[in-house]
Structure 1
Amino acid sequence: MRSILWSLLGVAGTVAVAWADDPLAHDPLLEPPAAEAARESSARGILRARDQATLSSELAGRVVEMPFAEGEAFKKGEVLVRFDCSAYQAQLNAAQAAVRAAREELGHKKQLAALNSVGRFEVALAEARQAQSQAEAQVYQVQVRRCSVTAPFDGQVVQRKARPHESVAAGTALLEIVDNRSLEAHLLVPSAWLGRLEPGSHFEFTPDETGQPLQVEVKRFGARIDEGSQTLLLIGVLSPSAEGLLAGMSGTARFPVKQ
């Protein structure tokens, strides 16, 4: 029994000496770079456009023109969708004619009132009819303006959700548009970083699709921390010189974290 114990001790001592003599046992190149990891952190993120929208119809009608297809660029104020507006235009014409008739009637009543041929009540009634006809004309003017959907900003068409010659109901989605010049980087970072990051600091964001690193400035943080994941939304603004980027690109952000 004693011989067996001494044999085991001898083997253990041999292993210990061998580990101590191994030149790779304490090689610093094989140890994790803890200091470097502490100085730099990374997080996944996505590029999102600040200006993007899904345009919907404000009235029921038939689409007669959609001049821009998917991917095509447009300028602010250009017509993106045009409806058949003949019925609404006819109603507006009739309302404007009623306004003219009410105006003539009011002028005639005022002349008679100056001659004491009609009372004040007749004049007030004519004024009310004129105001009513003007209000109705304004309603039809609004409807006629809604026959054309104009671009709220410079951008590109992402997707057509309707086609020319289709009849749509009020509230139907027509076009999805985006401005790829107003991109922001959206990241989910650990909430523990909140005290070490601040607006105005910079980090590097590399989209997977291009592989080209971009300089991004921390713009603002989300309004609350997610209780489950303990993460916080970080929003960064890209340099104006950044080109060739599209909303939806994803990538990795790397930035130093203050200790």
Structure 2
Amino acid sequence: MTRRGETGRAGWWLLAAGAVLLCSAATAEDTKTAPVAVEAAKVAAAPLSEQVTAVGTLLSDEAVTVSSEIPGRLKEIHFQEGQPVEQGTPLFTLDDSVYRAQLADAEAKLKLATQTHKRTTTLFSSKYATAQSADEAASNLAVSTAAVELARVQLEKSHIAAPFSGIVGLRHVSVGEYITAGQPLVNLEAIDPVKADFRVPEKFLPAIRVGQTIRIKVDAFPDETFDGRVYAIDPKLDVAGRSLLVRALVPNKDQRLRPGLFARVTVLLQLKEDALSVPEQAIVPQGDRQFVFKIVGGKAQLTKVVTGTRRDGRVEIVEGLAAGDEVVTAGQLKIRDGSAVAVANGTGA
């Protein structure tokens, strides 16, 4: 009886082990064929602008350091610092008493030279004067005329006016100070519009053109963007950095933008009306090639693609997909080419 009982128990254990093995095999088979849950999105067709970013500096449209062309003592200052002025507005007046005296002296000498020339010409026509004396009288008249003109110009230069409309800066001189020719007096800036100078790598040379739209951001106004337009391109590339200097004009009617600001510049190169794009998560790089898992008939199909512009979390698809195709965006590590998949999220662009 003992041996039969032991034999019966052993048989029961063998049957139980076989059942477990059969169940495990069935479970493994079910797991192998069960669809893998993934997330997916559809290929979207929408306008896409190709652009290049750079850093630059804002400059005045026109800028000059006002100075005097003649020496003299500063008599009057006609402006308030930091205020706008129109072209031709008086800025400084020098003491002109010396220049007025020089003009009066030159005019008196001119009057004498004119009378002498007139008398000499009359005598020469009557053959009472030599040709040399007539020539000397004519030369003295020309010299005196030039002296008067010089004195008049110097007198005019004692009044310094704005060469263009703009905003005057902080003056460097005071009334009563003796200034020399060329001494800086005040800076004048025209800041509507402002210029934006920036450099782009040489590879963008074929794409940069006059008239292209730019968009800039500055730290002073972090939540705002300002639009402008490229109007000049330097014909020479920078040898040290192999970069191209580009200049754009940015409207600045409210004059909030100021020269010297650091600017982040975006140049809109071209607009593609129906560019295809997918989320960045859909791209599966393999070496120097790019792939996606396209869902076809409930299965993942490894598909090679050619990518283009990347921006705002999306990648442009130049080749390999069509609008409306569905691609896996999460779960790629759990699948391979031909794996059955089940989309766990509501797909969309």
User: What is the aligned length?
Assistant: 231
Q: Could you tell me the TM-score, scaled by structure 2's length?
A: 0.59
Distance 1:174 1:204, change over 3 A: same
Residue 253 of structure 1 corresponds to 265
Letter paired with 1:207: V
- Give the drift of 1:226: 2.8
CA RMSD, 1 decimal:
2.8
**Per-residue CA shift, 1:56-99, capped at 9, x if unaligned?**
22111111112123211111112212111111110111011110
SS of residue matched to 1:206: strand
1:100-179 matches, within 5 Å, as 100-179=111-190
SS of residue matched to 2:52: strand
**Per-residue CA shift, 1:162-217, capped at 9, x if unaligned?**
22211112221111110011311111222222222211121211233234222211
Q: Point out 4+ residue stretches in structure 1 off by more than 6 angstroms.
A: 26-29
**Per-residue CA shift, 1:103-159, capped at 9, x if unaligned?**
111222233334443333332222121112112222212211221222110011122
Distance 1:133 1:241, change over 3 A: closer
Distance 1:81 1:171, change over 3 A: same
Distance 1:54 1:28, change over 3 A: farther
Distance 1:255 1:112, change over 3 A: closer
Matched, 1:214 2:203: no
Residue 80 of structure 2 corresponds to 69
- Give the drift of 1:27: 6.9
Residue 239 of structure 2 corresponds to 227
Q: Could you tell me the TM-score, scaled by structure 1's length?
A: 0.78
1:38-77 matches, within 5 Å, as 39-77=50-88
- Give the drift of 1:239: 4.0
Question: 2:66, 2:84 → 1: CA distance?
Answer: 16
SS of residue matched to 2:170: strand
Unaligned ranges ≥5, structure 1: 1-21, 30-36
Distance 1:250 1:105, change over 3 A: same
Question: 1:223, 1:132 → 2: CA distance?
Answer: 47
Question: 1:92, 1:108 → 2: CA distance?
Answer: 25
Unaligned ranges ≥5, structure 2: 1-35, 42-47, 271-307, 309-349
**Contact kept in structure 1, 2:193 and 2:253, CA below 8 Å:** no
Which structure is larger by alpha-carbon Rg, 1 or 2? 2
**Per-residue CA shift, 1:14-45, capped at 9, x if unaligned?**
xxxxxxxx98xx8789xxxxxxx994432222
Q: Quick one: which of 212, 222, 232 aligns to 1:201? A: 212
| Bigger helix fraction | 1
- Give the drift of 1:242: 6.7
Distance 1:39 1:105, change over 3 A: closer
Q: Quick one: which of 202, 222, 245 aligns to 1:191? A: 202
Matched, 1:238 2:259: no
Q: Which stretch of the first structure deviates more once superposed, 138-147 or 170-179?
A: 138-147
**Contact kept in structure 2, 1:161 and 1:176, CA below 8 Å:** no
Question: 2:207, 2:57 → 1: CA distance?
Answer: 22
Question: 1:172, 1:119 → 2: CA distance?
Answer: 51
